[in-house]
Amino acid sequence: MRRLFTPAGRRDRGQVTVEFLGMTPLIIVTLVLVWQFVLVGYTFTLAGNAADEAVRAGTAVPPGQRPGVCEQAGLDKLGDAWRGNAEVSCGGSGYVTADVTLRVPVLFPGLIDFPFPVHGHAGAVEEEDGD
């Protein structure tokens, strides 16, 4: 005698596996996009921090020494992957400014970068000698 109906558990056998395999590419793409947004945010944070450090160092030295000290202080706070193509510029008299330009890496820092730059800017009043 043959059964006309099969138990409910047997009909859906393997369905979860098929659905998971179908969703795997979507899960991977979502994780890649989230990671890329993390790198964009981290690059903005690095640019702002490097500009802050550069202007802090620039306010503490005489104007003649400012460009070299300021730029070096900005670069010192960057990791190797971001330092390679970073641009740090400092200027001003009385009110010192620092501008940092970085490139956002694609997926992994140090390989390739997006063509658009990320800018960080900071400014501070020049310290006076207390003599």
Q: Where are the domains of the chain?
A: 13-125
Q: How far apart are CA 20 and CA 88, in angstroms?
A: 48
What does the block give as tokens for 42?
A: 């981290």
pLDDT in tens, 79-129: 887 777 888 888 877 788 889 998 888 887 777 877 788 898 988 887 666
How far is the C-alpha of 15 from the C-alpha of 12, rounded, in Å? 5
Full-model pTM: 0.74
Express each pLDDT in 19-58 by its tens digit. Answer: 778 888 999 999 999 999 998 898 899 999 999 888 888 8
DSSP 4-25: SS--HHHHTTTHHHHHHHHHHH
Tell me which range, 11-15, 59-63, 126-130, is most confidently predicted by mean pLDDT: 59-63
CB 53 within 8 A of CB 77: yes
